[in-house]
Amino acid sequence: MIQRIQSLYLLLTTMLSVLFLNVPFLTFFKESGSYIQITLRGFLSQVQGKNEEVILGSLPIYLLIIMIILISAITILSFRNRKIQLLLSKLLILLISILIIVAVIYSLFIVKKYNATIIPGIKMAIPVLLLILSILAYRGIKKDNDLIKSYDRLR
């Protein structure tokens, strides 16, 4: 049901995940004047005036993002079964947490190996925003579930 606030949170999670999939979310600047970006094709090294070269694959990150998109969409569509929706939202929180951990590990690896610095951007906040939205959705689903249980006790 789209009128429930947790459905809106889950819809925002899905839309932000799709946005996260389409744009490079981390950019690093190397001392040599080149950039490293995490994109769909992997970690790309770009030197001004030259072609891009893939230096490392980013398959785990994008598999996690695709799983987050699918699970958040399935969670929205399973609004009639709150127990499954609670379970899927817990799984969604877990996957987003794993995504943040993997992104931090990759970032530390790039910083250490290539002596690069992270260029801060708004795209870095997307995973944290995904986590916050999924936690809010879980709380809304849990609140609905508790409300239904209290009505059942009164009968």
Contacts of 7 (CB under 8 A, 6+ apart): 1, 76, 79, 137
**Is position 104 within any domain?**
yes
**Is position 153 within any domain?**
no
Give the CA distances from residue 106 to residues 6, 67, 151, in Å, rounded to whole numbers and listed in that order. 31, 19, 48
Distance CA 92, CA 82 (A): 15
**Is position 19 within any domain?**
yes
pLDDT value of residue 140? 92
**Is position 154 within any domain?**
no
Nearest Cα neighbor of 134 from 9, 21, 15, 17 is 9
pLDDT value of residue 48? 67
The helix-helix angle for 59-77 and 126-154 (nearest 10°) equals: 30
pLDDT value of residue 49? 60
**Is position 27 within any domain?**
yes
CATH of the domain at 51: 1.20.140
**Is position 155 within any domain?**
no
**Is position 31 within any domain?**
yes
Give the CA distances from residue 40 to residues 46, 56, 58, 94, in Å, rounded to whole numbers and listed in that order. 15, 11, 7, 22
pLDDT value of residue 3? 54
Q: Could you report the average pLDDT of every consecutive run of 10 residues in the chain (155 residues)? A: 77 91 80 77 72 74 92 92 93 96 89 85 89 95 87 67
The number of folded domains in the chain is 1
Give the Cα-Cα-Cα angle 72, 18, 35 (nearest 5 degrees). Answer: 135
Range of the domain at 22: 5-148
**Is position 79 within any domain?**
yes
